[in-house]
Amino acid sequence: MASLLSGQCAASLIRVRGAALGIRTRRYSGRDEASEYLDRSVVPSMHYQKSLPRLPIPKLEDTVRRYLAAQRPLLDDDQFRTTEKLAQDFQTGVGKQLQEELAARDKSNKCTSYISGPWFDMYLSARDSVVLNFNPFMSFNPDPKPEYNEQLVRATNMVCSAVRFMKTLRAGLLAPEVFHLNPAKSDTDGFKNLIRWVPSRLSWYGAYMVNAYPLDMSQYFRLFNSTRIPKRGRDELFTDEKGRHLLVMRKGHMYVLDVVDRDGNLVEPAEIQSHLKYILSDSTPAAVFPLGVLTGEDRDVWAGLRDKLTAAGNAEELRLVDGALFCLCLDDETMTDHIHVSHNMLHGDGCNRWYDKSFSIVLTKDGQAAINFEHSWGDGVAVLRFQNEIFKDTTERPLVNPGSAAAAVNSAAAVRRLHFNLDSELENGIKTAKENFDSAVSKLTIDAMQFKKGGKEQLKKSKLSPDAVAQLAFQMGFLRQYGQTVATYESCSTAAFKHGRTETIRPASVHTKRCSHAFVQQPGKHSVEQLKAMLNECSKYHGQLTREAAMGQGFDRHLFALRYLATSEGQAVHGLYTDPAYTAINHNILSTSTLTSPAVNLGGFAPVVPDGFGVGYGVHDDWIGCNVSSYPARDVHEFLQCVHKSLEDIFSVLEGKALG
């Protein structure tokens, strides 16, 4: 999961919060061409792409300084001295040479960023299952009109809106993704009509002049017709934009149907509804050997089984799966509560998913919907934009309604259920994959918490960063529960730069440690004013870290790229990288990511280490929500109680009450 962030901003946290997007559309009416698109932006979608600034390589001395600052709260004095010595030796020795080489390579590859290649490589070379380890989910809010949440109606509307989004994007009519610091000046028809005439190689500068920051959209083309293909050692990304069909999964079976006609138009919504109704009414029993479970396997195991599938005569069926626009998973289950929703959307039972598709829309029997996405091709930027647009379009301009009659068409001819030839080895592979899957997901616990005594508005009145306070509550909560300060990761997008990916904010600092100890272990020793001063210090420092990260001035990606360069050249890695402290700071016990959007109800992901927490959270106007996962090594229920208590204490102090 990644927040949407912009750059070049010195005043405030610059996290784009997935704001609702103003979109001009017309209703579908026969073959009215305008109805084929969600938007008709006067500024072409990729107008700013050529002139986006390049992701800067930080100065080595800045990276070492930031690295040591992040290590300080995690180490005792002796450990810190060792780490400091290693870091300084790296800075003056081998690190200096690697930095020069990284800069030279970057200079000769101006069409991309220094992190893009290594980051793709990291994701695609990982051999762990993508389930739990990489794929996150973001669930949709329900349609405000309850009758539109019926599974068939919602599925049809989401498919139609998704096709319209795809067509709008490919026609260059989707408005560019821009972070507006002064929307009254830059998010206007006047400015758009002016900037459209500025050549692409200069357009970014025109936006910058009015405090608007275009974001990288290079990942968007992988949204549709894309799949991660398992290969031994390193997977590949496959995209085939010629595909006009949708992949639908139900009861472990796979179906394909065209949702775009030969002329490139959206198939009539009533026909799509008819085809989906046909699939939902298929009485075929659940698949005995559901192929989808293989996509949750170890990547090398899956690669070997996929080769066997191809050899057994299934190449054409696999091509249809890989080239499908996206995957629609129709589940027969009804959700009992939001915890059930999180488990179902994050992993489900493994049978009714194709986790390798760039994204899947999952729809349960009671109309709960979510996106589960494969993470190697991109970050949350493109997916969240897609989700916001789809939610807005389906709720404001649905193309079918509860009273709509499905078209009287021959769905049996239009819908094809895929049949695969399976030998005993493949059947055993599927059986083993299902056992491995069940074993892995059985260890995962998810719990959620809502703090309703305050949120963004009150914190801003107190001149505190809402994100800083949420992160501080996690530090306090962990300290209260386990008596420690541990490695903490907060995702931050660097989409303000060409081919930017993410950077890490390191929320655990000497300031949060001091403040957490004061609140948790010495509540009576400090006055309200002293505690407020500590909160202010934490907020200020977190704001600085966030701005630096969004500007590509963190230390994590830089150190990663330098190590990648050394190993790719066969060099021995420096002692900085073999230092136990480096291993520990990259063993992120608290892995966190924030998301608030009018379209999104919940977001979540599994912990990134066996003894960690996966913390999805959102700070809303008057409440704060957390959706947290853990494995048996940690107690997620108690952690959330400790976080809630921490937030109570923080808000009490802000109200002028002393801690007892």
Q: What is the pLDDT of residue 27?
A: 36
pTM of structure? 0.93
Query: Residues with Cβ < 8 Å from 596, sequence gap 6 or more?
Result: 17, 18, 618, 619, 620
**pLDDT exceeding 90 applies to what percent of the chain?**
92
Q: Check pLDDT > 70 for residue 277.
A: yes
Q: What is the pLDDT of residue 35?
A: 74
Q: What is the pLDDT of residue 18?
A: 31
DSSP H stretches of helix in 507-635: 510-520, 528-550, 556-568, 575-578, 580-585
Q: Is 377 exposed, middle or buried (0-12, 13-18, 19+ CB in 10 A)?
A: buried
And the tokens for 640? Answer: 């959330």
Three-state helix/strand/coil letters over 307-366: HHHHHHHHHHHHHHHHHCCCEEEECCCCCCCHHHHHHHHHCCCCCCCCCCECEEEEECCC
Q: Is 243 exposed, middle or buried (0-12, 13-18, 19+ CB in 10 A)?
A: buried
Q: What is the pLDDT of residue 34?
A: 56
Q: What is the pLDDT of residue 139?
A: 97
**382-406: per-residue pLDDT in tens?**
999 999 999 999 999 999 999 888 8
**pLDDT exceeding 70 applies to what percent of the chain?**
95
pLDDT band at 243 (very low <50, low <70, confident <90, very high): very high
Catalytic annotation, pick one of 347, 375, 511, 574: 375
Three-state helix/strand/coil letters over 55-81: CCCCCHHHHHHHHHHHHHHHCCHHHHH
Q: Check pLDDT > 70 for residue 28.
A: no
And the tokens for 26? Answer: 């017309």
Summary mean pLDDT of the chain: 93
Residue by residue, DSSP assigns 536-572 as: HHHHHHHHHHHHHHHTT--SHHHHHHHHHHHHHTTPP
**96-111: per-residue pLDDT in tens?**
999 999 999 999 999 9
**40-64: per-residue pLDDT in tens?**
999 999 999 999 999 999 999 999 9
**408-460: per-residue pLDDT in tens?**
888 899 999 999 999 999 999 999 999 999 999 999 999 999 999 999 999 99
**166-179: per-residue pLDDT in tens?**
999 999 999 999 99
Instruction: Read off the pLDDT of each residue in 224-235 and give the average, rounded to a whole number.
Output: 98
**553-579: per-residue pLDDT in tens?**
999 999 999 999 999 999 999 999 999
Instruction: Read off the pLDDT of each residue in 140-153 and give the average, rounded to a whole number.
Output: 97
Cα–Cα dist 219/223, whole Å: 7
Q: What is the pLDDT of residue 596?
A: 84
Cα–Cα dist 356/463, whole Å: 44
Contact 393, 161 (CB under 8 A): yes
Query: Residues with Cβ < 8 Å from 197, sequence gap 6 or more?
Result: none
Q: What is the pLDDT of residue 399?
A: 95
Strands 178-180 and 212-214: antiparallel
Q: If we measure between CA atoms, which residue out of 376, 392, 441, 448 comes closest to residue 603?
A: 448
* Amino acid (one-letter) located at 480: R
Strands 253-258 and 245-250: antiparallel
375 catalytic per annotation: yes
Q: Check pLDDT > 60 for residue 10.
A: no
Q: What is the pLDDT of residue 324?
A: 98
Cα–Cα dist 13/471, whole Å: 14
Reading phi first (left if > 0) and then psi (alpha if -120 to 50, else beta), residue 9 is in: beta
